[in-house]
Each structure stands twice: as structure tokens, then as C-alpha cells.
Structure 1
Amino acid sequence: MPDLAAHVRDVPVNQIREITEAAWRTPGAVVLSIGEPGFPLPRHVLEAGMACLDRDETNYTPNAGIPALREAFAARFRQQSGADIGAERVYVVEGAQQGLHFAMSLLLAPGDEILIPNPGYPTFAMTSRLLHAVPVGYPLYPAQDFQPRLEDIEALITERTRVLVLNSPSNPLGAVLAEDLTRQLVELARRHDLWIISDECYEAFTYDVPHVSPARFDSAVPGEARVFTSLTLSKTYGLTGLRIGALVCPPGLEQQMNNVMEAIVSCVASPSQYAALAALTGPQDYVVQARDHYRTNRDAASALLRSKGIPFLTAQGAFYLWADVSHVSGGDVRSWVRRFLAESGVSFAPGTAFGSIGEGWIRIALCATQAELVEGVSRLPAREPATAGAAPVTGTGSQPGQ
């Protein structure tokens, strides 16, 4: 059999899926390794998808999506971000991951460099490698509460750098970029003539701080705008299996985006589009309930970690906690989470799934019932007081005992 292409062989294993699939094969496991919302879908959303099938509306839609859904996405984005965008800049895609793929396909040529957060979501690197590009991690350090520093990013920019990826609220960190820092990052990209891809999967879930989209500080002039925004309804409304999201593009790219859509997917399935339209335009009780649940779970898990002396980054957004288990992981957290699953029946995502700086850390998903979450976190080994006292401060409330 002929060899696979080298760039495919080099795509790393997704360690989140690795541990989660092992947990799914483990009877009775408490699965805290994957971000899967657990609430039943609102009935009006399900009925909108079923009604589409009932009327046999199963033909192609326009490449960019049905007009009403594009307008609904644009209206929500205007409300959430403050950016003045129209529906013509919105392209309906099969989830945020496909939106990221489309954006990178437009922007990256073989050998181009793309700056991605470390720690950051693993498909940033996986997708860029599939496109023959070179992912370069910019560091997010515990000592800076895992916030990016302009000087660290600027030091990595070369003549081959084309794209800066931002992710706020962050998966895996739960960190949120403040307004001033977001503006400065957009200005940095403008100075160096870089594109920005902003992953805003968790924009609906922030706690006591606002979500700030880089698009707010972008130009609206064709040829000067540089921000692509990847959105999804998977997390906001629990529609992970319907694969529905949107990519908001700079103006003037309509023909290129239609070409890319046609080449990769043609269009998104029409039942998913009508279900998404119902989600965006109907009652928003699901979102309110989900946000309250994640906040309550965050507080319960934080209290448990604090009682065990385990440092963690206080989540300001998304639905994850980022916790330091270096006292037990022995310098190989990927192996440790597998042992911990086998011994305790609980799965966490290893920090190394998200980059080298994640060594010694785990991501705890807050989507489960509170009883499951508390049970799972309670099985983590406590940090000895002497060790805990030496642990770094990693965010408000992260120091044991605070």
C-alpha cells in the first residue's frame, strides 16, 4: 500500500479523545474529560429540525446557509460583540471546528506559520498541520495567570507568520481576555499585517466579566479588516451532534468563501440549519440554565480543590477548571490520567493535550451533574501541606486556602 502523506502522519493524537474513549469503555466511569453539555435540548429546537424533514426540505441550501439563519447569527453577533456586521459576512458551517478549517484554508499556504496559544485547543495545531502550515505556540504562563503577553507573541513573529489565533473564553483554561488586552492584540496584528482567527465557542458563558470579541476593534473596510470569528451552537445550546456553527469573515471575501464551501462541504444539512434558527430566535431559557449550572459547578469544584490544597486557575468563562496535579503526575500527566482512570474510575483531560506548558495540569469539565462532578473531583489525591505552600499562585482564588 502506498504511504500516507507526511503531513497526515505528523498530525498528533488528540489526547482528549484518547482518555475519553477509554473512559467510555470503563463501566461506571465518571467522565470529566470532555466538554459535552448534558441538558435535554429544548423541544422547539427539536421540532424545528423534525419539521424540516416532515416537509421534505432536504435539498441543497445556498453554500453560505439559509438567509434567515445567517441573519440570526449576525444579529446575535452584533448583540454579543458590538461589531457592526451584516448577514453577508456570515457563513453557516458544520461546527466551529469546520469554521477554523475554512479560515485556515483561506489564509495559510504550505510553510506559513500560525501562532497558537500554548496551552490551547489541540485542533489549532492539528488543522494547520493538515494544511501543510507550521503551528508555533505562544506561551501562556502560570505566573501571568495564563494570559498572553504582547512581547512573547511579538518575539515569535517571522517573515513567514501569517495568522494569530485567539481563544476567549479559553478552552482549556477558562481564562477570558480583558478589553484592553484584546484591543492591544488586534493592534499588534495590524502592525505586523497578520490575520486573526478568533475562536469564540464559549462566548455565552462568562462569569462576572464581559466577553470581548476582537471583531469589536477590527476595521469594517474591505482590504483592511483582518478578523475571522469562529462561532458554534454546540456549547451554547448543547447541539454538539447537529454540527452547526458560523464563520464571520472580513468583508469582500464572498466569492472566495463560497468556493471554499463548495469544495469542502457544499452546504450544511438543512434540518440542522432550521434547528439552529429555532435555537437562536426562540426562548433562551436553555442558555440561562446552562450558565447557572456551570457557575454552580465551578464553585463546588473550586471549593473541593481548595480544600485539597490543589492549585487551580479560577475560571472566568467556558465550563472548565484548570488544575495543577504535578504533586502526583510525576512529570508525565498523560500517563497519569490513564492510571488514575484505571485506579479511580474518573477521567480528566491531560494538560499536555493542549501544549507543553500543560504538563502537570488537568482540565476538569464542569458539564456533568453536580453529584458526578463532586464525586470525581473528590477522588483526586490531596496535596501535602508543605507542597501546597510552595505552589504558585495561578489566578484569583487559586492559592490553596484562599
Structure 2
Amino acid sequence: MSLPPVKTRERLSEVRYEIRGELARRARELEGQGRKLIKLNIGNPGAFGFRAPEHLQRAIADRIADTDPYTHQQGLPQAREAIAAFHKQRGTPNASPERVFVGNGVSELIDLSLRALLNPGDEVLLPSPDYPLWSAATILNDGRPVYYRCLPENGFLPDPEEIASLVSSRTRAIVLINPNNPTGAAYPRELLEQIVAIAQRHKLLLMCDEIYDSILYGDAAFTPIAPLAGDLPCLSFGGLSKVHRACGWRVGWAVLSGDPVASGNLHHAMDLLGALRLCANVPGQFAIEAALHGEDTIAPLCAPGGRLFEARRAVMESIAESRHLQLVAPAGALYAFPAVTGAAAQGFDDHRFALELLETQDVLVVPGSSFNVPYRNHFRVTLLPQPDDLREVFRRIECLLDRYAQADADAQAAVA
């Protein structure tokens, strides 16, 4: 007798995460057939030859004998002290070790904090495009994502008036991703001040994903939101994965700032949920102090001549030479979010394009609609490969888009 299939949670049908989804599974199948792929779907520095800085590796190695026991559910005391000190230097109000939470990457802390915050039907204002984990965590914690647009014609920056218009009686929080994934936008101080004012007016929690805070290009600047928020409760997220190229260590943190009384219930809820999972990975926490208060190893990579800067240059120059692509130059983070335009964009579907690019050109990208946007003419690439590899990627993309444009021209000729 056959058994009925195990039922799963219905709301999973609302969740998308194409970064590691169907296309990535197809890529693994092709690699199993011996195909050599260029995979640009994940911002995973170690997969492209980057290493975590040596002084971070030494910090763990020197304390490895102390990593066997569980630690406090909010993290190692010395790690939380280092994070609090770093945020005090930034001007974060009421930053203290007691208000720092260390997690298994920022991903875990996003889920944990939304679980602590949301009741069924509560709303969270999210950017569109967003990093899709934010949407997924909102949905799976019984909340409702409400999207404010970050349009390419506005440099992928949001309109504060639109954000204000979306606030309802069920709104609990405004999420910012700065610098942004997938677009690379860096939010100017004046814009952040306007968003803070909206949150203050409606007594909303600010949740700012700042995992790319030191990855900036040219004259771009990063402005942390917590100092602007003052007494307003604010959660600022950071970690070792991107700036310090240590994704596999799974070390992230969240700093709860603002008035301790106003955020007291949230603090206790996050502490409880942290205790239920016992504690975060311990070895990686010993690298936090060295990361935040030691040598700056990311700035040289982002400066002219540095590998990330030159990778970004390769993408920008390739798109400038393209007959079919446009780009809002990324000011920060590890990604570019090009748009397909002109004849190649007629009838264009980003998922079909990504699959065909994988099957025919051995290149894996992420369709733009995976980032919760209504349009389907964008895709995301990471800036982590070598510059020459990125030039080759865009040569292959151009070949495929040439075919799309020719197909459109043939269709137009047939109609004429």
C-alpha cells in the first residue's frame, strides 16, 4: 500500500528563492555531465578565491580549545562587547553588549527578529527589489510583505512619499538594505533622514540590513541608520560574510538601539528565541573583535586597482559597449542589476533567458523577478569573479541577446 505524500506548510508556495532554486539545481546537473560553468548566482567570496583575512583566521585558531561549550544565547561576551564598541564609534544610541545578538549569519537573525515581532497579518514595508530572504521570512512568520518601489529611473532609491503612503494600522516595521542587494544602491543621508521621520511618526521599528556597509566604490558613502534614529527602536544587521569574506563561518549580528524601555519587549522576545536554539556557532565569534577593530582589508579591494573595483569596471564597460543592456552603476555591495532593453527586450522573460543562458552559454545568473519586482527585464550578477571572466560572461550574454534581437527583427519583417 502506497503512503500519502507528507503535507508541507501551505505558505511555502508563496516563497521564492531562485538564488539557490531551480536554476541552481539545473546547474548542478550540467556540472555532473562535465560542463564547466561560470556561476554568478551567489555572493560567495570563497567560491571565487577570496580568503578570510589571516588575522581573523588566527583569532579563531588561537582560541579553538575554548570553542567546545555552548555560550550565552546572545553570543560570546567579548564578541558582543566588540560589536557594541564598534557601534558606539558610529554614534549608535544605547549600544551595549546586552543589546547585541550574535547569530548563525544575518539570515538567522532576520528570521528570528521577524518571528519575535510579527503577529498574523502584520505588515512589513520591504524594498522592491529586495533580498528575497526578507520576503520569505516575513511570509513564513505569518506577516504580509508590502513593497515600496526602488525604481531604476531613480537610481534604485526609494521615494519616501510612497513609503509613507503604504503605512497602515497593521504596519510594524520598515526594512532597508543599504548598500542594496541586488542593485548596489547606497542610500544618501537625506533620504535616510526622511525614512526615519516616517518611522518616528508612525512608531515603526527600523530594520536595516547593513551587511555590505564597507563595500563601496568611488565616492560612495555609507550612512548607518541607527545614529539618525535616536530613541526610535532600530535593529542594525551586520556580519563577517561579505566585508570579511567569511561566509562559511556563519557569523552575523543584530544591534538593538534606541530607547531601551520602548524596545524592551522585543529584546526579551529575541532573547527567548535565541535561547531556544541554544547559541550560535562559537568558533567564528572569536574573530569578531579582530574583524571590527583590526586591519581594514576590504578598502584596498574596492579602490582603483583592487579586484572588486576592477570587476565592477569590467561589468560597467561591457554593458556600456552592449547593444542591448543598460545599468545603474552599483555604488556598493557585490552585485550589478542590468536591464535588457530595445529589440532584445521584446517579449523578454527573465527566467527563460536565465535558463537559456545556462543551457547554451554555461553562465548562471539570477532572474530579476526573483527579487520581488513586477518587471521581467533585469538579472543579477555578482562582481566576485576575475574581471576577465566577467568580460567573457558579458560576451556570451551579448551573443544570446543578439539572437533575441534578430528574432524580433525577423518577426517584424514577417508582419510587414
| TM-score bracket relative to the smaller structure | 0.7 to 0.9
CA displacement, residues 48-86 of structure 1 (integer Å, 9 cap, x when unaligned): 323433x2531011111112111222233334x432422
**Residue 284 (structure 2) aligned to one of 257, 263, 272:** 272
Q: Does 1:213 align with 2:224?
A: yes
Q: Where does 1:100-111 land on structure 2 (aligned, <5 Å)?
A: 100-111=110-121
User: Could you tell me how far 1:290 is from its partner in structure 2?
Assistant: 5.7
Match of 1:392 in 2: none
**Residue 95 (structure 1) aligned to one of 84, 100, 105:** 105
Q: Does 1:198 align with 2:215?
A: no
Q: Which amino acid aligns with 1:362?
A: F
Q: Does 1:116 align with 2:135?
A: no
Matched residues in 2 for 1:285 and 1:155: separation?
41
- Look up the SS of the partner of 1:10 in the other structure: helix
- Look up the SS of the partner of 1:260 in the other structure: helix
Q: Does 1:160 align with 2:170?
A: yes
Matched residues in 2 for 1:366 and 1:107: separation?
34
Q: Does 1:29 align with 2:37?
A: yes
Matched residues in 1 for 2:150 and 2:360: separation?
31
Q: Does 1:284 align with 2:296?
A: yes
- Look up the SS of the partner of 2:244 in the other structure: coil
Match of 1:232 in 2: 239
Kept in 2, the 8 Å contact 1:32–1:373? The answer is no
Q: Which amino acid aligns with 2:92?
A: A
Taking a change above 3 Å as real, the CA distance of residues 77 and 40 of structure 1, as seen in their structure-2 partners, is same
CA displacement, residues 123-152 of structure 1 (integer Å, 9 cap, x when unaligned): 111001110111111112222222111121
Matched residues in 2 for 1:210 and 1:45: separation?
25
CA displacement, residues 195-240 of structure 1 (integer Å, 9 cap, x when unaligned): 11111111011221211122121123xxxx2211111210011111
Q: Does 1:182 align with 2:204?
A: no
Matched residues in 2 for 1:358 and 1:203: separation?
28
**Residue 335 (structure 2) aligned to one of 313, 320, 331:** 320
- Look up the SS of the partner of 2:172 in the other structure: strand
CA displacement, residues 320-340 of structure 1 (integer Å, 9 cap, x when unaligned): 111012554633201210111
Matched residues in 2 for 1:96 and 1:259: separation?
18
- Structure with the greater alpha carbon radius of gyration: 2
Taking a change above 3 Å as real, the CA distance of residues 280 and 160 of structure 1, as seen in their structure-2 partners, is same
CA displacement, residues 317-362 of structure 1 (integer Å, 9 cap, x when unaligned): 1011110125546332012101111110111111011012451001
Kept in 2, the 8 Å contact 1:170–1:318? The answer is yes
Q: Which amino acid aligns with 1:43?
A: E
- Report the TM-score when normalising by structure 2: 0.85
Matched residues in 1 for 2:191 and 2:18: separation?
30
Kept in 2, the 8 Å contact 1:94–1:268? The answer is yes
Higher RCO, 1 or 2 (CA under 8 Å, sep at least 6)? 1
Query: Aligned-residue CA RMSD in angstroms?
Result: 2.1
Matched residues in 2 for 1:20 and 1:74: separation?
38
Matched residues in 2 for 1:356 and 1:369: separation?
29
Where do 5+ consecutive residues of structure 1 fail to align? 388-402
Match of 2:308 in 1: 294
Q: Where does 1:19-168 land on structure 2 (aligned, <5 Å)?
A: 19-25=23-29, 26=31, 27-37=35-45, 38=48, 39-53=50-64, 55-79=65-89, 81-84=90-93, 85-168=95-178
CA displacement, residues 151-204 of structure 1 (integer Å, 9 cap, x when unaligned): 211222211111111111000000011000000001011112211111111101
- Report the TM-score when normalising by structure 1: 0.88
User: Could you tell me how far 1:287 is from its partner in structure 2?
Assistant: 5.2
Q: Does 1:248 align with 2:238?
A: no
Percent of aligned positions that are identical: 28
Match of 2:387 in 1: 370
- Look up the SS of the partner of 1:163 in the other structure: strand
Where do 5+ consecutive residues of structure 2 fail to align? 406-416
Taking a change above 3 Å as real, the CA distance of residues 233 and 21 of structure 1, as seen in their structure-2 partners, is farther
Match of 1:390 in 2: none
Q: Does 1:344 align with 2:361?
A: yes
Q: Does 1:306 align with 2:320?
A: yes
Kept in 1, the 8 Å contact 2:16–2:132? The answer is no
Match of 1:360 in 2: 377
User: Could you tell me how far 1:94 is from its partner in structure 2?
Assistant: 1.1
**Residue 275 (structure 2) aligned to one of 250, 262, 273:** 262
